[in-house]
Amino acid sequence: MSTVARNGRDLRLPFVAVLAALAASLPWLLGSYELHAVIVALTFLLPAYGLNLLVGYTGLLSLAQAAFFGIGAYVTALLAIHFQTPFIVNLLASGLIAGLIAFPLGVPALRLRATSFVMCTLGFVIIGQAIAKNWISVTRGDMGLESIPRPSFPLGPFSFTVSTTTGFYYLSLVIAAVATLAVWLIVRSPAGRNMVAIRENETLAESLGVPAWRYKIIVFMIGAAFGGLGGALHAHYLTVVTPLTFQMQYSTTMLVIVLGGGPGTISGVIFGSFLFVGLSEALRVAPELRMIAYGLCLLAIVFRFPRGFAPLIDRAWRWIGGER
The pLDDT score that the predictor gives to residue 322 is: 76
Per-residue pLDDT reduced to its tens digit, 29-72: 988 888 999 999 999 999 999 999 999 999 999 999 999 999 99
Query: CB neighbours of 44 closer than 8 A, spacing ≥ 6?
Result: 230, 250, 253, 254, 257, 273, 277
Per-residue pLDDT reduced to its tens digit, 141-178: 999 999 899 998 887 777 888 989 999 999 999 999 99
Per-residue pLDDT reduced to its tens digit, 304-324: 887 888 888 888 888 888 776
For residue 15, report the phi and psi dihedrals to the nearest 5 degrees: -65, -45
Average pLDDT of the segment spanning 78-90: 93
The pLDDT score that the predictor gives to residue 2 is: 46
**Domain assignment of residue 269, yes or no:** no
If one counts the domains in the chain, the total is 1
Measure the CA–CA gap between 37 and 266, rounded to whole angstroms. Answer: 20
Helix (H) or strand (E) holding 153: strand 152-153
**Residue type present at position 103:** F
**Domain assignment of residue 311, yes or no:** no
- Distance of CA 99 to CAs 50, 69, 108, 213, Å? 11, 11, 15, 17
Helix (H) or strand (E) holding 146: strand 145-146
Per-residue pLDDT reduced to its tens digit, 250-280: 988 899 999 888 899 999 999 999 988 887 8
Global confidence as pTM: 0.93
The pLDDT score that the predictor gives to residue 1 is: 42
**Domain assignment of residue 20, yes or no:** no
Contact 264, 57 (CB under 8 A): yes
DSSP structure class, residue 292? H
**Domain assignment of residue 318, yes or no:** no
The pLDDT score that the predictor gives to residue 75 is: 96
**Domain assignment of residue 176, yes or no:** yes
Tell me: pLDDT of 202 over 60: yes
Average pLDDT of the segment spanning 199-228: 93
**Domain assignment of residue 108, yes or no:** yes
**Residue type present at position 232:** A
Q: Residue 183: beta bridge partners?
A: none
Which residue range(s) make up the domain with 126? 31-247
**Domain assignment of residue 230, yes or no:** yes
The pLDDT score that the predictor gives to residue 78 is: 95
**Domain assignment of residue 267, yes or no:** no
Rounded mean pLDDT of the chain? 89
Share of the chain above pLDDT 70, in %: 96
Q: Residue 192: beta bridge partners?
A: none
Average pLDDT of the segment spanning 217-235: 96
Measure the CA–CA gap between 182 and 184, rounded to whole angstroms. Answer: 5
